[in-house]
Amino acid sequence: MTVSRPTAPDAAADEETLAELEALAVDFAEAAARLIRDERPGDLGAQSKTSRTDVVTVMDTRSEEFLRDRILTARPRDGLLGEEGSASPSQTGLTWVIDPIDGTTNYLYGMPLYAVSVAVVVGNPSEPGWRPVVGAVCSPGMGVTWSARTRGGARSAAIGGGTPREVAVGGATELAQGLVGTGFGYQAAVRAEQAAVLTTVLPRVRDIRRLGSAAVDLCLVGDGRLDAYYESGLKPWDLAAGWLIVTEAGGVVSGPGGADPDVTLTVAGNRMVHDQLRELVDP
């Protein structure tokens, strides 16, 4: 389906366009999720990227090629940025930001916590100042798709068209009662620094969960199933869709100094727990 409307950046504010883009994002994310789940080969051809523990499989590449073809067929003048190298400039002010498999290590090991993340953003995601306006995260291992659009709320549904359920962040008021998600990078020196931060956080929360997918972590915050999440080292494709799902579910997402989330830091939660967590991870 090609959505043909005025493509000026302010068209992104058009409710009908946003609703159509959200439906496309859900369709693309679920189709790619079915591909990586159902056509998983015996040999995933895992190769190292930035370090020996940072891997990419043949299905990361196949999923991104699949998403790129579907997106550029439906929205040929939009931009595209993908984790595995897809990049094309935007002629409309809108750019699709995709993570073909978020949680690749879990996927490699046959664990269910991985997802396909598809977002539409305004601005250039390779520079500061971009913001998501549509997001969809499909976790085939969990059988659920979360989605959101600006000023349109956030929802979850069973994959393939279950009745959508509006989602909302949890009501925790004290970080000490909070279940907090986090993650770690792939460089040994970075992980040592992240361990030092974790040493500060762990005694001050209910518990920590390291689930292995930033997109799923953020959706669980929006769904009230994690009270907060923080991580450093995330790229736009890791966080774009989940960022919007949290904020449209009534939560707050911030980065260093309270600015937008970026590779330096992402913190998410309801307002109270988010603010308390920021004091520990971004003093």
Q: Which residues make up the interface to ligand LIP (CB under 6 A)? A: 83, 99, 102-104, 183-185, 212-214, 231, 238
Give me the least distance between CB of 27 and ligand LIP, in Å please. Answer: 21
Q: How far is the CB of 51 from ligand LIP (least distance, A)?
A: 10
DSSP 8-state code for residue 77: T
CB of 73 to ligand LIP, least distance (A): 24
Q: How far is the CB of 219 from ligand LIP (least distance, A)?
A: 11
As measured in angstroms, the least distance from the Cβ of 103 to ligand LIP is 5
Q: Which is nearer to ligand LIP, 63 or 147 (CB)?
A: 63
Shorter beta-carbon distance to ligand LIP: residue 18 or 32: 32
- Cβ atoms of 98 and 83 closer than 8 Å: yes
Which segments of 77-210 are extended strands (E)?
79-82, 87-88, 94-102, 115-122, 131-139, 144-149, 154-158, 165-166, 179-182, 207-209
Residue with Cβ nearer ligand LIP (18 or 265)? 265
d(CA 169, CA 239): 17
Among residues 148 and 214, whose Cβ is nearest to ligand LIP? 214
Q: How many Cα atoms are found within 13 Å in the side-chain-facing hemisphere of 20?
A: 15
Q: Which residue is nearest to ligand LIP (CB)?
A: 183
Write the DSSP string, 7-35: -SGGGGG-HHHHHHHHHHHHHHHHHHHHH
- Using CA atoms, how far apart are residues 127 and 133, in angstroms rounded to an integer? 16
**CA 173 – CA 175 distance, rounded (Å):** 7
Q: Which is nearer to ligand LIP, 156 or 213 (CB)?
A: 213
Of 77 and 209, which has the nearer Cβ to ligand LIP?
A: 209
DSSP label of 3: -
CB of 60 to ligand LIP, least distance (A): 8
Q: Is 154 helix (H, G, I), strand (E, B) or coil?
A: strand
